[in-house]
Amino acid sequence: MKEVAKAVLDKELDLIQAYKRTMKLAELAGLTLVDQTSFATAVSEVTQDAITHSSGITLALGVSEETERHLLARIQLKKGPLTGISQTGIDYARPLVTHLALAETEGGSEITLHFRLPASTPISDVTLQEWEMQLRDEPVLSPIEQIRQHQRQLQQMAERLQESKNQYYTLTNSLPLMIFTATKEGKLLYANKWLQEYTRTTPDILNAKGWRSIVHADDAYKKWHWQEQLPKQTNFQNEIRIRHAATGEYIWHLINATAILNEKNEVTSWNGFLVNIHAQKMMDRTLKDNQELTETKQQLEQYQLELQMNIGELNRSNQELAEFAYVASHDLQEPLRKIQSFGTLLLQQASAELSPSAQDMIHRMHSAAERMHVLIKDLLSYSRLNTHQQTFRPVDLNDLISEVMVDLELNIRERNAQIKCPTLPTIKGNPLQLRQMFQNLLSNALKFRSPERPPQIRIRTEKVTIFDIPVPMRKREPAYLAISVEDNGIGFDERYHDRIFQLFQRLHSRDQYAGTGIGLTICKKVAEMHGGTIAAQSIPGEGATFTVYLPVSVLVKTPVASES
């Protein structure tokens, strides 16, 4: 055999690369798509059986040196005789290739698969070298390994970011300045030791009492306009008198706050410092000529810039990871379609020649491929939430729920379900994402029904406050619109409240209830992308209520209360 590619198979992920290389070699040899799939599938079945029952497996691909040309795939096992290998893969692969040979060797055993090439296929040493180069240049990482590599890079970046943050804290505590970080409204997030020791207070106490509790009354009235000025500008500077807690004396300070902006040029927070200029104030504010303070300010700004850059790089990497997951999931569907198509051809064209066990394996392959298809489809839907740009417009929830009920009409009729829905409001949002969220919620209510009674589902809305929401909110607003989907199904144990919203998490087996465990994850993501969240309440055996909380600012039109 003239070898053109060789690979060591240690784990199941290596089977992906082996399948790709086998398909590529068959394509270079001029085989039809059906023959490419046959050869690659046969090799995949045998290698999968081998890697399950043995170790130290090597796959070599090449071309026979005999008069009649064949593509060859040689699977070599270093340990164990062939009698220890399951015959399932071999029996499945044998009719797919021209010839399958088994042999025992001094180093172990080997399985060789032959696939006849068309007589018109020209193969020379130059051609084989070109094939070898193309196969060698094939990517060696599987999609999952590439994702893990990105995750490792993100972890390293997070560690560097934490190191930079620690350096920033060390610097701020070493400088003879009162340094702080605050929200855009002026609430303290961080205060260095100089500020806390000078005022003998903490950020929490100062936030509760207000900055004016430590600022001279005249300065607070004339010069201290944090709430009014900071949200409107990117730099705030003034001279104020701060009360020294140890002496009770008000000392002149220069306050300087610089805005931290996001990529949309919006203020997210403020970094600032207070400098004692009491002596300089007495000397006609000679602080302007103090070069040392200027250099300190420049150094502080440099650290702020580096911190911004690190945060921006982390956000960019997260976006790239989301886009990569979308592309990888999309590309996985092509070989999946080929598996399904080839299985269908086998059942249609060779069912009479296949044993019942072989037909059963093909049916199970179809079922597994269909589950994989649904999983990839759900992954694509989840990835699109991150990669697609948000477009909000007024959405009439009455029309949206009606469209969802039309899509679910067959399920509703088969289960004799009753859905009660009052007149719903019109809100600002992404119609496709909102429809996806409500379709998942209603589908779950129909799916997890009680065998003792027909499903009864109720949709209702009400306005609530932040204190009525049982889960923490990213954006804390005073009022929210609560949209609830309540059912009388099997319910769940509330101990698993957080788990049901996590990716791929299920409380039941696939034999009991179909699904991939992504639906509620998508619901949570959609709610968060609309500035809200989702929570669930349930009593096992009595039903569940899923409530979406959206900021009341999304309301466009409030309905007149009525039941339908």
SS (H, E, C) 305-373: HHHHHHHHHHHHHHHHHHHHHHHHHHHCHHHHHHHHHHHHHHHHHHCCCCCHHHHHHHHHHHHHHHHHH
CA distance 47 to 9: 8
Is the entire prediction scored with pTM above 0.75?
no
Give residues with Cβ within 8 angstroms of 320, minimum separation 6: 150
Q: Can you say how many angstroms the Cα of residue 104 is from the centroid of all Cα atoms in its chain?
A: 48
Core vs surface per residue 436-458: b (16+ CB within 10 A) or e: bbbbbbbbbbbbbbbeeeebbbb
Give residues with Cβ within 8 angstroms of 142, minimum separation 6: 13, 16, 17
User: Nearest to residue 87, comparing CAs of 55, 52, 116?
Assistant: 52
CB 131 within 8 A of CB 2: no
Residue 504: its pLDDT value, please? 52
Phi, psi of 116 (to 5 degrees): -65, 135
Split the chain (564 residues) into runs of 10 and give each run's mean pLDDT: 85 78 88 87 86 81 84 83 68 89 82 87 84 74 58 75 78 80 82 85 83 78 52 73 86 84 78 81 59 75 82 68 60 69 77 79 73 62 59 88 87 90 89 86 87 91 86 73 91 75 55 60 86 87 90 78 46
The helix, strand and coil proportions of the chain, stated in percent and rounded to the nearest 5, come to 50, 25, 30
Give the tens place of pLDDT for each residue, 138-174: 655 555 665 565 577 678 777 887 887 788 778 777 7
Q: What domains sit in the chain, N to C, each tagged with a CATH number?
A: 2-140 (3.30.565.10), 175-289 (3.30.450.20), 333-374 (no CATH), 389-557 (3.30.565.10)
Residue 215: its pLDDT value, please? 84
Residue 74: its pLDDT value, please? 92
Residue 187 tokens, joined: 């609430």
3-state secondary structure of 114: strand
CA distance 47 to 73: 10
Residue 216: its pLDDT value, please? 82
DSSP conformational letter for 559: P
Residue 29: its pLDDT value, please? 87
Beta-strand pair 418-420/456-465: parallel
CA distance 273 to 208: 20
